[in-house]
Amino acid sequence: MLIFSVAVKSALAKSQPIVALESTIIAHGMPFPQNFEMAKKVESIIEQNGATPATIAIIDGQLRVGLSHSELELFAKSGPQIMKVSTRDLPFVVSQKLNGATTVASTMRIAAMAKIAVFATGGMGGVHRGAETSFDVSADLPEFARSNVAVVTAGAKAILDLSLTLETLETLGVPVVGFGTNDFPAFYSRVSGLKTPMQCNSAQEVAAMMKAKWEMNLQGGLVIANPIPQAFEIPSAEIAPVIEKAILEAKRQNIAGKNVTPFLLQHLAKVTAGRSLTANIALVENNAVVAAKIAVAYSQ
C-alpha cells in the first residue's frame, strides 16, 4: 500500500530521523512557482538539519511517502486539478487510482502508517467560525486523537475560531505545546491572547514528551505550536480586519467546506499585496527547522 522513495526507505531501515510533509500546501495553499520553490526549500532545510524529508501524496492511487522534484513540480503546477484529500477521501482516491494532495489529517494518518513520528506543516485546521450552526470542524482535530504523530504548526489558521479549536483539542485529549511560548500562535501572528496549556523550550523536551506519551499507550498526536519568525509576523490587530472581510466575501460567493481555506489564502495574498504569502512561506520554513530538530532528538 505504501510506496517509499529510496531516501525515505533507507532512513526507515536505519531508524534515522524523518520529517513528513503534506502536499495540499503545495497544490492548494500557494500559487506556482512559489509553491514549487517552497517545497524544494523546505525539503532542503530538513536535510540541512539532519533529517530526511518525506513529502506525502497520492499518485495514481498509490500512497507515496517521499517525492522526487519532478513529482513536487507536478503537484505545484497542477494543483487546482488535483483533488484535496482528507482521511475520509483516501479509500475513494486509492480505489479510483487518482492523484491526491494530502491534508494535515490524511498526511498524519499516512505518516503514522509509515512509522514517521514528526510532521511539519504551515497551519493546522480547527473549528471554523460559526461552527455552532454549520458544524464545520476540520478532520485534522479528530485525527490528532488517532495518529501518533507530533505536528509542528504555526498554530491554527487565523481564519478559524482559535478558542473553540483549543477547547476541542482539550476534549480530545490532545496535548498542545507552545514551543518557546505559552501563547498560542495565530498563524500570521505570534500571539493570539490564548494560552497554551503547556510549554517546551527545546527539541529534546518535545522528544521526551512524545516518548512519555506513547510509552504510556496514550493514543494520538501532539500539537507543537511554533510561532512565525518575528521579522515576518503580521500582527493580529492588522490582519484580523482583513480576515473578517475575506470571510464575508467567501460567504457572499457561497464558498464552503474544503474550498474555504484555499479561497481565503488567495484572497488574503491579493489584499496584502503578497505579504501574507511571504509570511506563509517563512512560517513553513521555520516549522521545518524545528521539526527536523525534534525528529533528530526523538531518534536519539
Beta-carbon count within 10 A of 2 CB: 14
- As a whole number of angstroms, the distance between CA 174 and CA 239 comes to 28
Rounded-to-5 percentages of helix, strand, coil across the chain: 50, 20, 30
Residue 77 is a catalytic residue? no
Q: How open is the CA angle 124-283-166, to the nearest 5 degrees?
A: 30
Catalytic residue (choose from 157, 233, 285, 293): 157
- As a whole number of angstroms, the distance between CA 189 and CA 295 comes to 25
The Cα-based distances of 235 to 145, 238, 270, 274 in angstroms read 31, 5, 18, 16
Residue 22 is a catalytic residue? yes
Catalytic residue (choose from 22, 71, 73, 233): 22
| CA dihedral over 24, 20, 138, 242, signed as positive or negative | negative
Residues serving a catalytic function are 22, 157
